[in-house]
Structure 1
Amino acid sequence: MRRHAIHYLILPGWQGSPAEHWQSHWQRSLPDASRVEQADWLNPQRDAWIARLERHIAAAPGRLILVAHSLGCITLAHWAAQATPALLAKVQGALLVAPADVERPGCPEALQNFAPMPRSLLPFPSLLVGSDNDPAASAPRAMQMAHQWGAEAVLLSGVGHINVKSGHCQWEQGFAYLYRLQGLIEQQARRRA
């Protein structure tokens, strides 16, 4: 039975997610959750981050829901654009929170090697949660990413980058979006049955 359970794989963004970040809270709260630990959180390299994500997905014993924030969303989209069908089949869905626009004017130099932005449809259900005042991605850009990736989109008002700095530590209301994603996954499974 255990092998059929959903595993939540958390993908932090640039500089990682400290203990007080909602991703860390979710990792402690969700059953069967772990995170992708990158070798270098301060100087991210696209190929290394993608390879680390791929190793985590390959090692996972069963089905996965990916929970990504910021640069983690971009890493996920790059991975999905080049992953094998066998590994893609392990991913049931993805929650994409406050994706970072690595092509924006003034983007930190450390993130620019993740450009160009991946534009391929994600081959699994996804839900993108953005903000109308996120310094890492404008509202129109977040909506464009959602459209390009085939993700359902939610644009929140005045919540910044949805991180510790913007006051989102536990982010309990975020679980509603995770449940919404799980509903999308179930809908797709019924359509395929």
Structure 2
Amino acid sequence: MNFLTIPGLASSGPKHWQTIWEKQYPYLFERVEQDNWDLPVCTAWVEKLQNYVEQLTQPTVLVAHSMGCLTVAHWSQQYYSPLVKGALLVAPADAEYSERLNFVEGFNPIPAKPLPFDSVVVASTNDIYATIERSEYFANTWGSTFLNIGAKGHINASSGFGEWKEGKVILNQFVNMLIEPLQVQCA
């Protein structure tokens, strides 16, 4: 299984768990690079994600953070790839209700339809970009498993997350869940 990371605003700096995972496992992780990390435009971000998905050659899990989660949700309404097996959606930003995101373009309304693949939404009770209730709402409308990890901020470097070992455990459990049904079918 390969992984495609989709960062949020300002990308993920050197101390962000997405960047650390990419450096630790460069043969498994690839990052979607946006042209403008500071002024997100939904159509541009979705098209950039699609460009990367079109190049996939292996089963892949999307690993998104913040605005990257919304990018995945919008992408899934327009595109599909049988190679995208699932998504880990961490700290989805609430572009509809967060005053901190009033400059993002085209992300509203946030899709409220199930994603065409398995997914997990990981959220914090004190995220400055989305309430825990909104994060749970996203999980429910996207058909995702919801995981509340407590008061962990925006689950990024600024919140004290470096390597985020708990996140690796969550990702491994998710991947094992995705692989298990395949093994049963082949037996």
Please report the TM-score for the alignment, with normalisation by the length of structure 2. 0.93
For 1:97, the equivalent position in structure 2 comes to: 90
**Deviation of 1:148 (Å):** 0.4
Please report the TM-score for the alignment, with normalisation by the length of structure 1. 0.90
| Secondary structure class of the residue paired with 1:110 | coil
For 2:169, the equivalent position in structure 1 comes to: 176
Higher mean C-alpha deviation, range 49-58 or range 175-184: 175-184
For 2:4, the equivalent position in structure 1 comes to: 9
Which of 80, 103, 110 lines up with 2:103 in the alignment?
Answer: 110
Higher mean C-alpha deviation, range 179-188 or range 110-119: 179-188
Q: Distance in 2 between matches of 1:141 and 1:189?
A: 32
Q: Distance in 2 between matches of 1:103 and 1:112?
A: 11
**Deviation of 1:124 (Å):** 0.9
Q: 1:147 to 1:192 in 2, by over 3 A?
A: farther
Which of 35, 54, 58 lines up with 2:54 in the alignment?
Answer: 58
Task: For structure 1, list consecutive stretches of 5 or more residues without a partner in the other structure.
Answer: 1-5
| Secondary structure class of the residue paired with 2:99 | coil
1:164 aligns with 2:164: no
- Asked if 1 retains the 8 angstrom alpha-carbon contact of 2:42 and 2:105, the reply is no
- Asked if 1 retains the 8 angstrom alpha-carbon contact of 2:124 and 2:132, the reply is yes
- Asked if 1 retains the 8 angstrom alpha-carbon contact of 2:87 and 2:119, the reply is yes
**Deviation of 1:191 (Å):** 6.9
Offset from partner CA, 1:127-183 (integer Å, 9 cap, x none):
110001111110111001000001111001110000111101211111011012113
For 2:129, the equivalent position in structure 1 comes to: 136
For 2:63, the equivalent position in structure 1 comes to: 67
- Asked if 1 retains the 8 angstrom alpha-carbon contact of 2:57 and 2:83, the reply is no
Q: Which amino acid aligns with 2:118?
A: P
Q: Which amino acid aligns with 2:164?
A: W
Q: How does 1:3-42 map to 2 (within 5 A)?
A: 6-30=1-25, 31-42=27-38
Deviating beyond 6 angstroms after TM superposition, the runs of 4 or more aligned structure 1 residues are none
Q: 1:139 to 1:191 in 2, by over 3 A?
A: farther
Which of 117, 120, 123 lines up with 1:124 in the alignment?
Answer: 117
Offset from partner CA, 1:43-93 (integer Å, 9 cap, x none):
111000000000000012221111000000000010011114xx2x11011
1:154 aligns with 2:147: yes
Q: How many residues align?
A: 185
Q: Distance in 1 between matches of 2:112 and 2:182?
A: 24
Q: Distance in 2 between matches of 1:192 and 1:107?
A: 46
Identity of counterpart residues, as a percentage?
Answer: 35
